[in-house]
A and B are shown apart, each in its own frame.
Chain A
Amino acid sequence: MANTVHLQYFAILREQRGADRETLTTQAATLRDLYETLAREHGFTLTTAQVRPAVNETVADWDRAIADGDRIVFLPPVAGG
């Protein structure tokens, strides 16, 4: 089943994606499936073990099922200071 989701990228993911946000229609069942698809497509260097997803303003698990209209944010750890 295809769901339309709104994606937002931070920091290094934004740079590797070349955009800070996008809306797309995906067949992916879970956040993990979606991230791995995007990672292959755009050459993300960070794995799901390093990045934390959030859905609808709440930190989420990679195994969370994707629902239509989800607002998804991928949060890489950044440490500069």
Chain B
Amino acid sequence: MFSLQREPLEPMTMARPDAGGYVSFVGRVRNHHVGKAVDGLDYEAFDAMALAEGDKVVREAIERFGVLEARCIHRIGSLNVGDVAIAIEVAAGHRREAFRACEFIIDEVKRRVPIWKRERYADGVEEWVHAWSAAPEALTEEAYYQAQTRLPEVGLEGQDRLRRARVLVIGAGGLGCPAITYLASCGVGTILVADHDVLEGDNLHRQPLFRVADIGRMKADLAAEAVAALNPYVRAESHTVRFDASNAERLIAGCDLVLDCSDNLATKDAANAACVALGVPLVVAGIHRMEGWVLSVDPKSEGGCLRCLWPTASQETRSCAEVGVLGFVPGVLGVFMATEAIKRLTGWGDTLGDRLWLVDLLRMEAQSVQRAKEPGCPVCSSPASLAASEPIALKWGDPALAVGDWALLDLRNDAQFEFPLDWPRLSENELSQGGSGRRVLVLCDRGISSVDVVLKARRRGIHAWSLEHGDIGLRRALGR
């Protein structure tokens, strides 16, 4: 899977019948390094360790992103400007996981595999550069974490668990800044930051991850840069989008945990619904002036979700800028979120569990309240109780169709074309036997008979929806 090669490298070409998406990356020697002209360089590897660690990286990529095959070859020996130094190729069922796995491999190889390079500068000087880390040589990964790995509860094994974790942080604001800071400094290996806003001057008092000079730039980018500057042994991805049902699955897929640090209940509701649907734990918090709350939604527990607690939560609430907030209030809550997240990822001590934690920083008081699943919760209750208010039919393009696992029951009599998504197909018989646990979309010619099928299925506890106007609606939406 990972190999070292002394001879010149050529890009690879994989081909296999079960793979639809291929991504290959080629890194070549460039003619400059930190402002100095480079003639060429020599790569030297600590062979046994490089092969073992490189293999581990490739295996992790295959497992984490579910790709079919991946390979990485690193050149060693003497290279000239323009020569291929590293070649990576990934084959996957679909392109998205191939891109992700490829990026993961190059980042991790540079970070973890012990390969050094000696650059030959045009002025005749030669210099050894650590090829696999931007950190000063004395600041090894071990040294970085030594004060926390010294704790018997953490140790090298606990640190490794954090390094392998992938966490999405929604919102790089008052809660997000401290949460991201401590996730990164404690060593959570991959941190995705989703935020669609630019930094404004009145954000700084509660978002001290940023600087005055950053005003006007995207906060997701700034947060990712701050993480890179803080800890060379973790990586952050910037996603400059507003988190909602349409991108939820793409962002959450592959994550071990999500932190909702957004400032509005609509986003918190969307994060809650997506995490429950995808079975990923969520840590979420909110603040108001000098008070705040934190809770964890664990799909495996009986504590229920955010909707169980506040059924009509998407109502209007006011933002920090409107209500007023002291900078440290989201700071305290954001650090608490990181604490809860890291403890959940590693299993150290007790977590919040199913409690709602309430803190009042004006009176310096904290208390917790036990939560429980609401039997009729439209988000997290068992399939037997899909809310009566849930619409029977969905329009083609409804964001709900992008969240969770779906199957199709195609009842069209005279289908002129194939349904455009590769969802598993169900027969009426399979639906009557329970529908495989997926959400079911029922498609008929005009969206009329499908409604009866949906109502009947729902009475048996199956999560089913009709496609509005059936085949006619679908063809209109697709312009056929």
Give chain A's interface residues, CB within 8 Å of chain B: 10-12, 14, 20, 49-50, 52, 54, 57-59, 73, 75, 77-81
Confirm or deny: B174 has a beta carbon within 8 angstroms of a beta carbon on chain A: yes
Question: Who on chain A is nearest to B362 by CB?
Answer: A20
Complexed CA–CA distance, A10 and B363 (Å): 12
Asked whether A58 and B369 contact (CB < 8 A) given A77-B265, A80-B325, the answer is yes
Partner of B317, one of A54, A58, A59, A77: A77
Partner of B263, one of A58, A73, A79: A79
B interface residues, tally (CB under 8 Å): 43
B 341-393 contacts with A by CB, 8 A: 356, 358, 360, 363, 367-372
**A78, B286: Cβ atoms closer than 8 Å:** yes
CB proximity of B322 to chain A, nearest CB, Å: 9
CB proximity of A58 to chain B, nearest CB, Å: 4
CB proximity of B144 to chain A, nearest CB, Å: 29
Partner of B370, one of A20, A50, A59, A81: A59
**A81, B286: Cβ atoms closer than 8 Å:** yes
Interface string of B232-273 (1 = CB under 8 A from A): 000000000000000000000000000001111100100000
Confirm or deny: B48 has a beta carbon within 8 angstroms of a beta carbon on chain A: no
Confirm or deny: B162 has a beta carbon within 8 angstroms of a beta carbon on chain A: no
Which chain A residues border B317 with CB–CB below 8 Å? 77-80
7 contacts between A and B (CB under 8 A): A75-B293, A75-B358, A78-B293, A81-B174, A81-B175, A81-B286, A81-B333
Confirm or deny: B320 has a beta carbon within 8 angstroms of a beta carbon on chain A: yes
Confirm or deny: B173 has a beta carbon within 8 angstroms of a beta carbon on chain A: yes
Confirm or deny: B187 has a beta carbon within 8 angstroms of a beta carbon on chain A: no
CB proximity of B267 to chain A, nearest CB, Å: 8
Which chain B residues border A79 with CB–CB below 8 Å? 262-265, 268, 286, 317
Confirm or deny: B311 has a beta carbon within 8 angstroms of a beta carbon on chain A: yes
Question: Who on chain A is nearest to B312 by CB?
Answer: A49
**A10, B291: Cβ atoms closer than 8 Å:** yes
Asked whether A54 and B369 contact (CB < 8 A) given A10-B358, A77-B310, the answer is yes
Complexed CA–CA distance, A48 and B45 (Å): 67
Question: Who on chain A is nearest to B323 by CB?
Answer: A80
Apart from the given pairs A50-B310, A59-B372, A81-B261, 11 other A-B contacts in the complex at a CB distance below 8 Å? A50-B315, A57-B369, A57-B370, A58-B370, A75-B309, A77-B309, A78-B291, A79-B262, A79-B286, A80-B263, A81-B287
**A80, B288: Cβ atoms closer than 8 Å:** yes
Which chain A residues border B358 with CB–CB below 8 Å? 10, 73, 75
CB proximity of B231 to chain A, nearest CB, Å: 23
Question: Who on chain A is nearest to B330 by CB?
Answer: A81
**A11, B369: Cβ atoms closer than 8 Å:** no
Partner of A59, one of B262, B293, B309, B319: B309
Confirm or deny: B171 has a beta carbon within 8 angstroms of a beta carbon on chain A: yes
